[in-house]
Amino acid sequence: MVPQKGNTPETVRHVSAGGVVIRWTDGRLHAALVGRETPERWEIPKGTPLERETIEDAAVREVGEETGLRVRIIEPLDQIAYWFSVRGVRHRKTVYFFLMEAVGGDTANHDWEHDFAEWFPVDEALRRISFPNEVALVQEAAAQARTPPPRAPVPARVRES
């Protein structure tokens, strides 16, 4: 948080980081979302960097904690910025997002911040996400991950001599 003063009301700037985690299953692209039961709300995992933590490291850590997955960054996605006010102080929050892939872990091991962490086919994830700006990010991620990764070649049968 960085407060700024001047002739205008005090403004505090916040930064968060997160990611759209994808995987291909049976030729279909899936995205991992985190959710709350009451009120029902599904979203992209994200959170606040620790002191001296890079945005990328924060995104990997926060996504890992909130989903229970081990992830790696593929590439940056867009960012979301918004304003809110608390007790006369203006706040501007910028959330940096990354396209990520799961390299291990299990959604059953998600942290306490959310009631659920689950994989959804992208079309279903788009219907479930509660915030329109996050829907756009999952659409962007899906467009960037258009084709499944190539399968490892099947070894040719070795001739015996």
Domain positions in the chain: 2-144
Q: pTM value?
A: 0.82
Please check whether residue 115 is in contact with residue 35, taking contact to mean a CB–CB distance below 8 angstroms.
yes
Dihedral sign for Cα 91, 97, 103, 107, please: positive
Q: Digits of tens for pLDDT over the chain (161 positions)?
A: 555 555 566 889 999 999 999 999 988 999 999 999 998 999 999 999 999 999 999 999 999 999 999 999 999 999 999 898 888 889 999 999 999 999 999 999 899 988 899 999 999 999 999 999 999 999 999 998 876 655 544 444 444 44
Domain spanning 2-144: CATH superfamily:
Nucleoside Triphosphate Pyrophosphohydrolase (3.90.79.10)
Rg (CA), the chain: 19
Please check whether residue 61 is in contact with residue 69, taking contact to mean a CB–CB distance below 8 angstroms.
no
CA–CA distances in Å: residue 109 to residues 43, 47, 54 = 17, 17, 24
